[in-house]
Amino acid sequence: MHELSTMMRLISVACNEAEKEKAKKITELNVEVGEMTNIVPEYLVKHFPEASKSTLAEGAVFNVRSIPVMVKCLSCGREYEPNMENDRKCPICRSVEAHIVSGINTEIASMQIEK
């Protein structure tokens, strides 16, 4: 059920930003969900109408995009998508030491407002 609280937090952030821009309403909200977040994008879509009710985002088009986990190899610098088939090793140097660069956050990518 953490998707509902996540959706409410995203809408709150979006509405605060829209208010700073003196918007009358948010017409489109685009969210990115990292695969490592354990957030189910379909549940965000399901909860959007309820969470946006009586806010600037009510009635907005809501889009959500899943972001794969990408890592950067600490040995050779190559960015790649780790997977179980290669034991999460770098496809170039076979190192397992890497830094996560994407796929761990849920955030607003963009939004459209009406002034």
Length, in residues, of the chain: 115
Write the pLDDT tens digit of every residue in 97-113.
Answer: 999 999 999 999 999 99
Residue 84 is predicted with a pLDDT of 83
Number of domains in the chain: 1
| The Cα angle at residue 47 between residues 54 and 20, in degrees rounded to 5 | 45
DSSP letters spanning 10-70: HHHHHHHHHHHTT-SEEEEEEEEEEGGG---HHHHHHHHHHHHTTSTTTT-EEEEEEE--E
Residue 99 is predicted with a pLDDT of 94
Residue 73 is predicted with a pLDDT of 97
Residues of the chain with pLDDT under 70: 1
Residue 83 is predicted with a pLDDT of 86
Q: Which domain holds residue 12?
A: 2-114
We report the CATH number of the domain holding residue 46 as 3.30.2320.80
Q: How far is the C-alpha of 111 from the C-alpha of 78, rounded, in Å?
A: 32
